[in-house]
Amino acid sequence: MLRRLLKKEEGAELVAFLILVPILLAIAMLIWQMFLFGHAMVVTGNAAREGARAAAACEGSVGAGKNAAYAAASGYEIEPSISRGSTVVARIRTHVPVLRIPYFLPDGKEVWISATSRMKRERGPKCR
């Protein structure tokens, strides 16, 4: 009787499907997480450039630099810091959303990406 059961292949596809689905879902989530990291890196660099550019164009206005950084990184939680002098330096830290996958990526640490941009201060109109 045991030999008859072992020779039957009914349900073999179901077992293979049940084994492969979690593996394929984990791979898809890993690819999505890499996309999130890449997008956050691009947004952070752009926010740093925009913040430095706006502050430099407005004679070192910290408020203009921060507003430009927030506008460039809309949708992300950022921490901008603008320092002025003969060169305006914009440092931006961006929080990266992390997928929470039970057993694979449990509640872990927060992930932040930072970028810095420098622009020479320009003489131009005063901005707010």
pTM of the model: 0.76
Annotated domain spans of the chain: 13-120
Tokens of 79: 């921490």
Distance between CA 27 and CA 23 in Å, rounded? 6
Nearest to 77, CA basis, from 41, 112, 48, 108:
112
pLDDT of residue 91: 95
Averaged pLDDT, groups of 10, the chain, 128 residues long: 64 84 89 91 95 86 90 91 89 88 65 91 68
